[in-house]
Chains A and B, each alone.
Chain A
Amino acid sequence: MAEPPAEQPGVPDINKRWVRVTGTHGDFVLFDFTIGDPDLTVELILPFPAFLEFCATNHAPATVEPAAQAAYERLHRRSWTIPLPQRRPGGASDRLL
């Protein structure tokens, strides 16, 4: 008879996602993105409006590192004066609709 499966240590939940802003560069936001477990973190860079869109689609709450706070807020304020990107329909597939 088969042995009962060995104790499965916790599997990270891929629906839990976080973002931590670590800096800015011109109009770009530098941030760490985590899925499910702090070990699963990757450093990413996106333009500010894309960054906001990314956090929203991933339902990822964002925190800002203290050292990046001032620069990030500056970007935030400025974003009201820069044109937001047009939402791109999903390429060729949307022509069907």
Chain B
Amino acid sequence: MSIADKSTAKPRKLGLKERYAHLTRGLGWETTYQPMSKVFPFTDYEGIKIHDWDKWQDPFRLTMDSYWKFQAEKERKLYAVIDSFAQNNGHLNITDARYVNAIKLFLTGVSPLEYSAHRGYAHVGRHFVGAGPRIACQMQAIDELRHAQTQIHTISHYNKFFDGLHDARHMHDHVWYLSVPKSFFEDACSAGPFEFLTAISFSFEYVLTSLLFVPFMSGAAYNGDMATVTFGFSAQSDEARHMTLGLEIIKFMLEQDEGNVPIVQRWIDKWFWRGYRLLTIVAMMMDYMLPKRVMSWAEAWEIYFEQGGGALFEDLSRYGIRMPKYHEVASKEKGRLSHEVWATFYNYTQATAFHTWIPEKDELDWLSAKYPETFDQLYRPRFEYWKEQSDQGKRFYNNVLPQLCVTCQIPMIFTEPDDPKTICFRSTLYKGERYHFCSDGCKDIFLYEPEKYIQSWLPVHQIYQGNCGGATVPEVLNWYHMSLGNDNMDYQGSPDETLWNEWTADRHKSAI
């Protein structure tokens, strides 16, 4: 047969299954020029033993061409919708401008995590020996990059009208409370590939993410923010794949070697607690920042963790896995978490890139009804007192920088599991230095890897060491790229409020 004959012969078209097999098994081989251990240097040191990488099964078996085609089509529709909302002044349909503060928190605290997830998956997508998990991670890396992009594009519309949204990336890398999400992800990305997947794919995506996305998207939808709902469209169908990867990787490790069980359990314990602490901002958003509320944090915790998570861990018990350590502490805290956190942000409003406020009377009533055991006794009097003070021109600001937990980097504001009136205060000595923790969960994490956490970049320490632009509030805010009086402080009297009131007054006028 001549060469010409060959080129005209029609190649047989491969089926999807065959194409997936070539992509995964066909492109993975035993290396000969270099030993496998040198090509994949990170697969052993965590102690996880894998005997047969081919046992990894990806139920989605997505090939690159079908991925591109599907996502491109979805993205085209998505951007058409995002454009329509922008052209129709979608921001005018929200309940009131206080709502936008939830968006500010999301853009500065969560969207950059999508980007970190992109980097993390791109990294581990290089480092697994098995081609199946490698491909799954690479596709998730692209998903997460798309998530970061659609969120930035959607929210950029709000940036035209509201303060605090102008420099999310810079803020994420510099601002005190944003070191909480930032350090969470850096902890995961600087771990080995198996711990990374346990942290992000399993503990975060599988166990905790519904607590972030479903209430957040529901809050956006109910408060008239259809622009934000559109990025839910982009993320949620990918999430099914991400959650599957999370469960598959756990089962794969557990089935491959019995020796993997205690290692995986320790990671689940650690990342449950890290993830739960990260979700405190969601608790606060649900209970305080939505003008029209969806459900309380306590209700969300019951539905999505106590019930949903309970069933999952019952299922995993056949592998010898138990519920994450300190899950009962999280349940004990559910009646106070959001109140303790909102109170803290109210105190430090001068240094936040969003506005705070004292809930209005009907909102306090809602909280009293949702938290019958805690709110009236412990928190309502506090908010009412601050309101009184503020009305007399004595608005309370906390001018002392708080002590931070070395592990989660949240100020030491949480209370004893069995006593909501006493600050939970843990500490340990390591190499002659004292380190402080907000909880037993955070202390355990430190004690297992102290050399990792003594390197933490703690915002308060950094300010006192003079590394954050200066020693005064205006200097530090300048370094944060925040404008004093515009991006921060109370909603009442803010430029956001003034503008919003003008718009609504105009609309009422033109309606008459």
Contacts and interface: CB of A to CB of B under 8 A. Distances in A.
A36 B76 CA distance: 13
B232 interface: yes
Interface residues of A, number: 32
Given A90-B95, A92-B497, A44 B221 contact: yes
B222 A43 contact: no
Interface string A16-27: 000000000110
Given A39-B233, A47-B295, A90 B504 contact: yes
Contacts of B229: 33, 35, 42
Given A50-B294, A92-B491, A93-B96, A43 B214 contact: yes
A18 B292 CA distance: 21
A40 B236 contact: no
Interface string B85-96: 100100000011
B303 to A, nearest CB: 6
A35 B226 contact: yes
Nearest to B221: A44
Contacts of A44: 214, 217-218, 221
B77 A40 contact: yes
B492 interface: yes
A81 interface: no
A25 B303 contact: yes
A12 B96 contact: no
A91 to B, nearest CB: 4
B153 to A, nearest CB: 15
A75 interface: no
Interface string B282-313: 00000000011011000000010000000000
Given A12-B80, A36-B77, A43-B236, A92 B492 contact: yes
A62 interface: no
A36 to B, nearest CB: 6
A41 B76 CA distance: 14
Contact of B362 (A28, A33, A42, A88): A88
B230 interface: yes
Interface residues of B, number: 43
Interface in A31-74: 33, 35-37, 39-47, 50, 54, 57
Contact of A42 (B88, B236, B291): B236
Contacts of A40: 77-78, 81, 230, 233
Contacts of B471: none
B77 A37 contact: yes
A39 B218 contact: no
A97 interface: yes
A2 B415 CA distance: 67
Nearest to A37: B77
B318 interface: no
A82 interface: no
Contacts of B224: 57
B433 interface: no
Given A25-B303, A91-B291, A50 B222 contact: yes
Given A43-B214, A50-B292, A91 B98 contact: yes
B295 A28 contact: yes
A34 to B, nearest CB: 9
A40 B88 CA distance: 18
B240 to A, nearest CB: 10
A14 B295 contact: no
Contact of B226 (A11, A14, A39): A14
B170 interface: no
Nearest to B303: A25
B81 A90 contact: no
Given A91-B95, A91-B98, A92-B491, A45 B74 contact: no
Nearest to A12: B77
Contact of A90 (B73, B85, B96, B294): B96
Given A40-B81, A92-B492, A46 B500 contact: no
B77 A46 contact: no
Interface string B493-512: 00001001100110010000
25 contacts: A11-B80, A12-B80, A12-B81, A14-B88, A26-B303, A35-B229, A35-B230, A35-B233, A37-B77, A39-B74, A40-B230, A42-B217, A42-B233, A44-B214, A44-B217, A44-B221, A45-B294, A57-B224, A88-B291, A90-B504, A91-B97, A92-B96, A92-B491, A93-B500, A96-B504
Interface of A: 9, 11-12, 14, 25-26, 28, 33, 35-37, 39-47, 50, 54, 57, 86, 88, 90-94, 96-97
Given A43-B236, A90-B96, 11 more contacts: A11-B80, A14-B84, A14-B85, A25-B303, A33-B221, A35-B229, A39-B77, A41-B236, A43-B217, A57-B224, A92-B497
